Amino acid sequence: MQRYQHTVAGEARCKGVGLHSGREVELSIKPAPPNHGIRFSRIDLPNRPTICAIFKNVVDTSLATVIGGEGAIVSTIEHLMSSFAGLGVDNALVEINSYELPILDGSAAPFARMITEAGLKEQDSPRYYFMVRQPIQLAENGRSVTIYPDEQARVTCNIDFPHPAMGKQTVSITLSGNAFEEEICRARTFGFLHELEFMKQCGLAKGGTLDNAIVLDEEKVINEEGLRFEDEFARHKLLDCLGDFSLLGIPILGHVVTHKSGHAFNHAFLEKFFQEKDCWETTTLIAQEKAVMQA
């Protein structure tokens, strides 16, 4: 775990197609000072409106995580946000010339590769954490998100889809070392063929293809190359979870466990998390180490 905040050491760039808009979009990630957080700037609009990537700025979670502010929106931020969280980037400015991030290959791997190639730079400000002291749970209609006290940053995701190629899957990760890069970032987004066809009829998923998503018919995965992991579906849900929970603004020291959750339910949990202020405290690892030494 990191004692100090980090930003990217240099600029990183990519371009691609938005999943729903089908528009070509260019994106760049730039270094930012301590306590800046992750912010998105719409450089295609007058005055370049900038939106801080925190949960109170979330304006839609129906198909993706969308943030808004200053009269602008930025959509489908979860894969990039997951990469920032998984790689330990606290501060960055993301400049984008459209309202939707590129889907790339449907996973977080291209974003993670961009960031690692740019490198990380340690900054001179301590990194703050939410340290969970008591469990917090939100449960509804068979779905749940629970967070338990833990000395590490851990996430466990459980999915249960009534489909022969999916079914019940569980995956768990401790965010340390290269775990995100090796176990999670390559897992792709997924959807069902009938849903994709319907969305295209409604003018959505214009950029969706078999090159940037796992697509299932009623019985099987129809992508010729198959899956990257046997449990790729659960791994991608965990990837999305990391992106959603990063919108708390600072990382969590605790064990997040989700069951049949998605963007909307994750966001509802973030609101409950902030209501349960007696269950957590903000601290730094430096402060915790001093407290242990003085005890």
- 50-52 and 58-60 beta bridge pairing: unpaired
Q: Which residues does the annotation place in the binding site for Zn(2+)?
A: 79, 236, 240
Which amino acid makes up residue 261?
Answer: S
Catalytic one of 6, 20, 255, 263: 263
CB 63 within 8 A of CB 20: yes
Which amino acid makes up residue 90?
Answer: D
Question: Residues with Cβ < 8 Å from 149, sequence gap 6 or more?
Answer: 132, 133, 134, 135, 254, 255
Q: How far apart are CA 184 and CA 173, in angstroms?
A: 8
Q: How far apart are CA 279 and CA 132, in angstroms?
A: 6
Q: Which residues does the annotation place in the binding site?
A: 79, 236, 240
First-to-last C-alpha distance (Å) of the chain = 22
Q: Where are the beta strands (DSSP E) in 85-210?
A: 92-96, 120-126, 128-132, 136-140, 143-148, 153-161, 167-174, 190-192
User: Catalytic: 267?
Assistant: no
Neighbours of 159 (CB within 10 A): 22
Structure tokens that stand for 111 in this block: 């974003």
- Annotated active-site positions, please? 263
